[in-house]
Amino acid sequence: MYPSVSSKPKISAVLTLPVIVASLGYFVDVYDLLLFNIVRVPSLKDLGLTEEEISEIGANIYNWQQAGLLIGGFMWGILGDKLGRRSVLFGSILTYSLANIACGFTSNVEVYALLRFVAGLGLAGELGAGITLIAEILPKELRGYGASVVASVGLAGAIAAFFAVKLTDWRTAYFIGGGMGIVLLILRINVLESIIFNKSLKKRGSKPVPWWTIFTSFSRFVRYIRCMGIGLPTYMVIGIYATFGNEFAKALGIPGDVQASTCVLYTYIGVVTGDFFSGILSQWLQSRRKAILLMIAMTLAGVVWLIYGGIQSPETLYVCYVWLGFSIGYIAMFLTTTAEQFGTNLRATVTTSVANNVRATVLLTLPLFQFLKPGQGVLNAGAIVGAVCFALALLSLWKMEETYGKELDYEES
């Protein structure tokens, strides 16, 4: 049974089956999301591609995966508001688990690209539906703690992916991801649907609110863009500063062979702890906006340290990446805030699509970074992209509704 809402709910009420299963689902989600990036070179080399082909075709396959995320974000979100959050959790994990297992058997580049598209399609539903479900079933005073648990357990999947590839070959790593998904699917059999969603379904009558009104209603559109904006620094750090950590190290004149994968690993170590901290911080401050503002300020400080702090050793650089990871550790928090911004009849659509749209903003920030590099250099290019993202994030947070403790049993009309 889910915990009932009381005036003073206990923190132990957070550790319900839906929260645990959502956490494990995000773990598998992040594991699979990063897996292709880690095994891209060895897998394509094993399929007989040259180094030049690996660069071009690898980027193409990655774009197919991203396309799946973008399409799936809206597809699963719409289904989540029509059929229920539980249905999406089942459907999404089955989709990407089977695609993962199939990736382990592939021997054809075209099939590989198609499978990564299907995997992206499945991955798109996991985090948004999980956050939406726990936001609706937890007492309003404890939603921040729920986000902390989901994020900290989930993002450990990134660390697991790195070690899975180190200890096994790329095909086995895919089998592990698919196998974990199937096991999780079995665990989800006993997860119940959100009571708030069931009540909403009965109240809608013959005039449901179409999902596209998110974009045709000025008020909803502004709320939607704000929810995306506050998340911009998170994937900018992962997609640019960490992913190109080797280039930043070279531009800073740091001696030794600094690997981009190591920078990403240390960033995710920070993210795991930061996401746990941010949820608790929002509970302590009794404010989502103040907690997110503090995390953004810490991220900005980390970027200034990286670019202008005169880092001279790999060890200091890795500490900086842990700091950056910790600071962007408000991913589940900004998605919880997103879920709290909208009524039950559009909540899953918004939360699931925002989660994937923010991931996909790298497709905009990365080309800008690459365009600026030849003329500005790595450091200045990184500073300019960062300035744009931080300005948009702070503008989005400005005058955003405070949703800490907000009742979620209401409809968009």
Can you tell me the distance from the alpha carbon of 207 to that of 19, in angstroms, rounded to the nearest whole number?
Answer: 32
- Output DSSP code: residue 237: I
Cα(98)–Cα(154) distance, integer angstroms: 20
Backbone dihedral region for residue 280 (phi beyond 0: left; psi -120 to 50: alpha; all else: beta): alpha
Q: Is 205 left (phi over 0), alpha (psi -120 to 50) or beta?
A: left
Give φ, ψ of 272 to 5 degrees: -60, -45
Please state the rounded mean pLDDT for residues 387-410. 94
CB contact at 8 A, 30 and 134: no
CB atoms within 10 A of CB 183: 12
| 376 pLDDT higher than 70 | yes
pLDDT in tens, 248-291: 999 999 998 888 888 988 998 898 889 889 988 998 999 999 99
Q: Which pLDDT score is estimated for 72?
A: 92
pLDDT digit string, tens, across residues 137-193 = 888 888 888 888 887 788 788 888 888 988 999 999 999 999 999 998 888 777 777
- Superfamily in which the 15-189 domain is placed by CATH: MFS general substrate transporter like domains (1.20.1250.20)
Going from the C-alpha of 262 to that of each of 128, 240, 259, the distances in angstroms are: 28, 14, 5
pTM of the model: 0.86
What single DSSP character describes residue 192?
A: P
Query: CA 153, 159, 160, 162: dihedral to nearest 10 degrees?
Result: 160
pLDDT score recorded for residue 8? 57
Please write the tens of the pLDDT for every residue from 324-336: 999 999 988 899 9
User: Once rounded to an integer, what is the mean pLDDT over residues 83-98?
Assistant: 89
In angstroms, the CA 282 to CA 293 distance is 10
Dihedral of CA 375/376/377/381: which sign? negative
Task: Decide: 29 and 127 in contact? Cβ < 8 Å.
Answer: yes
Q: Given pLDDT bands bounded at 50, 70 and 90, which one contains residue 302? A: very high
Q: Comparing 50-59, 103-112, 234-243, 350-359, which segment has the lowest mean pLDDT?
A: 50-59
First to last CA, the chain: 31
**Rounded percentage of the chain residues whose pLDDT exceeds 70:** 96
Helix then strand then coil, % of the chain, to nearest 5: 80, 0, 20
Domain ranges of the chain: 15-189, 232-329+361-399
Joined together, the tokens standing for residue 259 give 């690997």
| Cα–Cα distance, 60 to 68 (Å, whole number) | 13
| Residues 119, 71 contacting (CB under 8 angstroms) | no
